[in-house]
Every structure is written in structure tokens, then in C-alpha cells.
Amino acid sequence: MTRYSRYWTAFLTIFTKELLRFTRIWLQTILPPAITTTLYYIIFGNLIGSRIGEMDGFSYIDFIVPGLILMAVITNSYSNVVSSFFSSKYQHHVEELIISPVPNWIILAGYVAGGVSRGVLVGVTVTAVSLFFTDIQVQSYGWTLMVFVLTAILFSLAGFINAVYANSFDDITIVPTFILTPLTYLGGVFYSINMLPEFWQQVSLANPILYMVNAFRYGLLGVSDISMVAALGIVVLFILALTTFSLMLLSRGIGIKT
Amino acid sequence: MNALAISDLRKVYKNGFEALKGIDINVAEGDFFALLGPNGAGKSTAIGIISSLVNKTSGQVEVFGHDLDKDPEAVKSCIGLVPQEFNFNMWERIGEIVVNQAGFYGIPRKEAWRRAEASLKQLDLWDKRNQMSRTLSGGMKRRLMIARALVHRPKLLILDEPTAGVDIEIRRSMWAFMSELNAQGTTIILTTHYLEEAESLCRNIAIINQGRIVENTRMDQLLRQLHTETFVLNLRDPLADLPGLDGFQLKRLDEQRIEVAINSDQSINHLFEQLTNKGVGITSMRNKQNRLEQLFINMLENSRNGAAQ
Ligand SMILES: Nc1ncnc2c1ncn2[C@@H]1O[C@H](COP(=O)(O)OP(=O)(O)OP(=O)(O)O)[C@@H](O)[C@H]1O
Ligand SMILES: [Mg+2]
């Protein structure tokens, strides 16, 4: 058993565990985002959207599709990791991992891979629903998938960090409610930031979700409020920063060891 | 080589409590070692540090020559841990728990199932492999943790009160199981509050109290230190008044039972002679306390008095 085959087995074990965890309860994990998005399309797309008119040259429903899909990816990858890792702390079975000769980056990779799988699976489901309600032509499948994966990685990491610091089930809902949801809604999901006054446009540029929504909109529709290189660069930068931070938390044992 | 070498290990918890005040412990390879001490002494803290669950404040830990700071993976690979508290997923199946633990150690799934089958069968849990772990009884949960700890065939097995809440029949089978493992070469460190368990299983012993080692020696040597043993005598006939004896202090427990302390330089024959002369008939006798228990209590009293001065 070489070191790296040992690591690979450990990674597969964590990843498979995560995969089974959310697919077994698909009624709670995969189905709800599909239903919510359908409701969004009916209400904002058809009922209200028809009165809004065009945005950036697209019908309103087509314009909000990328944001809605990405919102589902974000919340699902985040909540998968935060609830799974927190419950492993809460029930103490995280100790099974800590006493094992698994390096921290494998632990992190295993949990993130689980979150990414759920994010991408939900993203694909919601995209399928979207294609049913709209007549969008996907501009670039490669780009679309890349944004899916990068977004899911970023928010899996964020969910992980939230779980590390959480001491109660309340703590794992506070961040999504008070930070994630506002950032998502203000990240240009439902509007183009060109509509905002100059000042709020500048403020919006500090919101990482804005870059993802726009990068994703570019993949689906071929339009964006901002430069693609900047969008990609910023997302990758955030991923690197959160990865470093997560590994630091793990190596210090914060929230896990006493 | 030592299976475990700890030197000057200290632990101060975040709230400022000093749980370990610089302890040294050496456990030889192949040993069956008892780590004893009253509630809150620091046993689980020490075990937590050895198994990477607790960060140490200072000091050194080596397991089979691997330094915990320099090569934690090598240290972890050597150790199997049965913790004091249940720490498995209550919503996971018994078989999966053991197989996944093997997976974390890098054992591929097929081999992991083979090993899980062996260790679950040894602990009489194989038939329950598809049950959720929360459906097990307390004693079964303890055995599940033992099966899980053995799946990667550790050279050093650390058991933190494995027999707590386990019925006597299963406790006996666990003793036989642990002895067998030890005979096959696994070094074992055991904590327990059943001192007869430690006395009958372990060859070496460390006693820890309030974060300090108060005794660390061979079990047989320790037992030899016992200067006084107290016996309870059951009398044939009810006794109204205690007879005065030469050199022995009797204590009346009830009408038909008396207690007597015998020093190691006295002889029991001498006691019986006197009792026979006074017409007191004895039907049976027993040790008031298990010998280790008596030593243990003396020792804790001494260390408490020492601390008070
Ligand atoms: N996380 C913690 N924070 C602060 N103090 C702690 C923590 N964990 C343990 N302690 C304290 O450290 C001391 C030693 O605890 P430990 O669990 O090591 O005792 P023990 O010898 O295993 O006792 P027992 O026989 O009851 O299991 C106790 O006083 C305990 O209250
Ligand atoms: Mg303890």
C-alpha cells in the first residue's frame, strides 16, 4: 500500500459517504430546488416578468435563468458541506477521521467533492427545468460547466468553514440567512447592475457572487456586466484563499480538537 | 522499543484548567498496561493527546519510535482507539462504520469488508451488520467500537473504559478477547474503574491523580506493597460482645459478621488460634476489598494529604 494509494482510498471513502448521504435523501436535497425554481419561473418569469420587458436585450425570464440556476448551485453545495461536517462534529464521528492517518487536504477534498457533486447535480436538474420553461440556447457548455464546478467548490469551502466554527444548529443557518442569501439577491440574479446608481454599482463589485452570476450568464446567454477574465480570476482567487484558510483551521484543529 | 513513550506531557484546556501537569509514561512493546485513576484524573485527556484528538500544551509523545509532532501519520497508523464516549454516526449501518473506518486508513473496500467481517464476528456483531448503529444496546455499542478499532490491525490498542456498562458475561468474554489479542502481540493500554479487571489482566500499571502520575510500577510489585489487608469473617453463632484479642483489632459489623485488619507481619493462624480459644466459630471469610482497590484508595488518600500539606 503506497502512501498515495492509501490517500486515494481514504478520499474515495469520504466522497462515497457524502454522495450516498445526499442521494439517499434526494427528496430533501434534489427535488426542492427543482420545485422552487419552477415557482420562480411561473411567478417572476411569466406573471410578473411579462410586465418588466427586456433586460440587456433578453426577455426577463431568460435573463434571470442563469442567476436562478446558480443560486441553486450555491445553496446546495454550501448546505451539503455545512450540514454534513457539522453533524459529524455534533455526533463526534469526525473523530473517526481525525485519529486516522488521513492528511487534512484529503479530508477537505472529500467533503468539497461531496458538496460539488450535489451542487452540480442540482444545477443540472434546475437547468433541465429551465430549458423546459424558456427557449434559451446554451452558448457554451464548457464554460457553463466550468462555472458550475468553480462556484460549487467555492461555496463548499465556505460551508466547510461555517461548519468548523458552528457550535449549534443555529450557527449553521445564521450565515446562509444573513450573508449568503443577501449576497445572492444583491449579486445581480434578478437585475443587471447597470440599472444601479454609480455608487451601488461599485459596491456590488465587492460581491463575489456577482462575478459568478455574470460568468454563468455569459456561458448561457453570451452577455455579462463585467469582464470574463476578471470574473474567473476573482473566483479562483477566492477559492485559493478559502482553501488555505480551511487547511489552516484543520491543522490547528479549530472547532474540532480541544 | 517502547510502544509508547510520553515525557513531561502537559495539558491546559482553553478555560485555563490544567488537566495534565507533566506526566511521564513508558509502555513496553507487548505490554498489557493499566492506566488508572479517579474520575477527572486526566486519563482520557492523556489518551486524547496520544490519539490526536486533543492538542497537547507541551511535552513529547512517541509511539513505536515515531514522534507525534514530526510524523503524526505514522503514529496514527500504529494506534487503534476505543474511546470512552460513543463516537460513531448513529444513522450509519454497523458494517459501514467498520468498513469506512478501514477506508480512512487506506484499506480498499473489498479487503475492508473481509476484515470487518472478521472483527465483527469476533465481537458477535456480524449478524447486525445491516442495522443502524443507534439500534444497538449500550454493551453492543462498546463492542462495535472495539471492532472498529481493530480493523486496521493496530500494534497499540488503547481502550478507554471498554467494559463500562457491559454485563458480566460479556465482560468476561471481552477479557478473554483482550488477553488473546495481547498474547498475539498487540500492546494494550486499558483504563477502567473495575480494579479487579486491571489486576487480573495487566502486567504494568500507572496511577494518575489530578494530572500527576502517583505510581508507575509492575502490578505484582505494587500488590506486594499492600501492608494491611482487611477481612470479613462470618461467624457460626451470633456474638454479643467482641472478644479482646492480642495484636488484632476486631470490628463488629453485625451480629454474625466481624471485620479484622491483618498486617503483612502478622499471621492468620495466630488470629484463628485466639478465636478458637475464645470459642468463636468461623464459617467463612473473604477479603473486604479487592487488593488493588485497597492500595488504590490508600494511595489516593496519601496523595491528597500530601497535596494538603
Ligand atoms: N474540553 C475541556 N475543557 C476543560 N476542561 C476539561 C475538558 N475536558 C476535560 N476537562 C477536565 O480535565 C480533567 C480531566 O478529564 P479527563 O476526561 O481526562 O478525566 P478522566 O481521568 O478520563 O476521568 P473519567 O474517569 O471520569 O473518565 C477533568 O477535570 C475535566 O473536567
Ligand atoms: Mg475518561
Is the CATH code 3.60.20.10 the one for domain B2-224? no
Q: What confidence category does residue B184 fall into, taking pLDDT thresholds of 50, 70 and 90?
A: very high
By alpha-carbon position, which residue is closest to atom 30 of ligand 1?
A: B40
Q: How far apart are CA A122 and CA A129, in angstroms?
A: 11
Range of A146-150, A207-211, B42-46, B250-254 with top mean pLDDT: B42-46
- For ligand 1, whether the C-beta of B45 sits within 6 Å is yes
Residue B182 has pLDDT above 70, yes or no: yes
Closest listed ligand to the CA of B83: 2
Residue positions counted in chain B: 309
Residue A258 lies in a domain: no
Range(s) within chain B of domains with CATH label 3.30.70.1560:
228-291
Share of chain A above pLDDT 90, in %: 41
Range of the domain at A123: 3-252
Provide φ and ψ at B283, rounded to 5°.
Answer: -95, -35
Residue A182 lies in a domain: yes
Q: How far apart are CA B8 and CA B11, in angstroms?
A: 10
Q: E strand or H helix at A35, and its extent? A: helix A31-40
Provide φ and ψ at A255, rounded to 5°.
Answer: 75, -5
ipTM for the predicted complex comes to 0.88
- For ligand 1, whether the C-beta of B104 sits within 6 Å is no
Range A210-232 burial, b when 16+ CB lie within 10 A, else e = bbbbbbbbbbbbebbbbeeeebb
Range of A68-77, A126-135, A207-216, B144-153 with top mean pLDDT: B144-153
Q: What is the mean pLDDT of residues A48-68?
A: 80
DSSP string, chain B: -EEEEEEEEEEE-TTS-EEEEEEEEEEETT-EEEEE--TTSSHHHHHHHHTTSS--SEEEEEETTEETTT-HHHHHHHEEEE-SS--S-TTSBHHHHHHHHHHHTT--HHHHHHHHHHHHHHTT-GGGTTSBGGGS-HHHHHHHHHHHHHTT--SEEEEESTTTT--HHHHHHHHHHHHHHHHTT-EEEEE-S-HHHHHHH-SEEEEEETTEEEEEEEHHHHHHT--EEEEEEEESS--SSPPP-SS--EEEEETTEEEEEEETTS-HHHHHHHHHHTT--EEEEEESS-HHHHHHHHHHHHHHHHHH-
Residue A41 lies in a domain: yes
- Give A 77-106 residues with CB within 8 A of chain B: 88, 91-93, 95-103
Range in A97-106, B202-211, B221-230 with the lowest mean pLDDT: B221-230
Tens digit of pLDDT for each residue in B190-208?
999 888 888 889 999 999 9
Q: How far apart are CA A147 and CA A141, in angstroms?
A: 10
Terminus-to-terminus CA distance in chain B, angstroms? 39
Tens digit of pLDDT for each residue in A28-48?
888 898 898 888 888 877 777
Q: Where are the alpha helices (DSSP H) in A134-227?
A: 141-165, 171-175, 181-185, 198-204, 208-221
Residue A95 lies in a domain: yes
Q: E strand or H helix at A55, and its extent? A: strand A54-55
Q: CB–CB of A210/A238 below 8 Å?
A: no
pLDDT at B65: 95
Range(s) within chain B of domains with CATH label 3.40.50.300:
2-224
Q: Global pTM? A: 0.88
* Count of domains for chain A: 1
Chain B environment of A10 (Cβ under 8 Å) = 103-106
Q: How far apart are CA B186 and CA A226, in angstroms?
A: 64
Judged by CB atoms closer than 8 Å, whether chains meet at B87 and A91 is answered as: yes
Task: Considering the domain delimited by B228-291, tell me its CATH architecture.
Answer: 2-Layer Sandwich (3.30)
Residue B279 has pLDDT above 90, yes or no: no
Q: What confidence category does residue A155 fall into, taking pLDDT thresholds of 50, 70 and 90?
A: very high
Q: What is the mean pLDDT of residues B39-62?
A: 96
Residue A186 lies in a domain: yes
pLDDT at B11: 97
pLDDT at B308: 53
Residue A174 lies in a domain: yes
Share of chain A above pLDDT 70, in %: 100
Q: What is the mean pLDDT of residues B212-237?
A: 85
Mean pLDDT of chain A: 88
Range of A231-240, B51-60, B165-174, B240-249 with top mean pLDDT: B51-60
Chain A environment of B74 (Cβ under 8 Å) = 101
Judged by CB atoms closer than 8 Å, whether chains meet at B104 and A5 is answered as: no
Residue A39 lies in a domain: yes
Residues with CB under 5 A from ligand 2 (ion): B 43-44, 84
- For ligand 1, whether the C-beta of B44 sits within 6 Å is yes
Residue A192 has pLDDT above 90, yes or no: no
The residue of chain B with its CA nearest to that of A20 is: B92
Q: How far apart are CA B193 and CA B39, in angstroms?
A: 9
Q: What is the mean pLDDT of residues B137-160?
A: 95
Tens digit of pLDDT for each residue in B90-122?
999 999 999 999 999 999 999 999 999 999 998
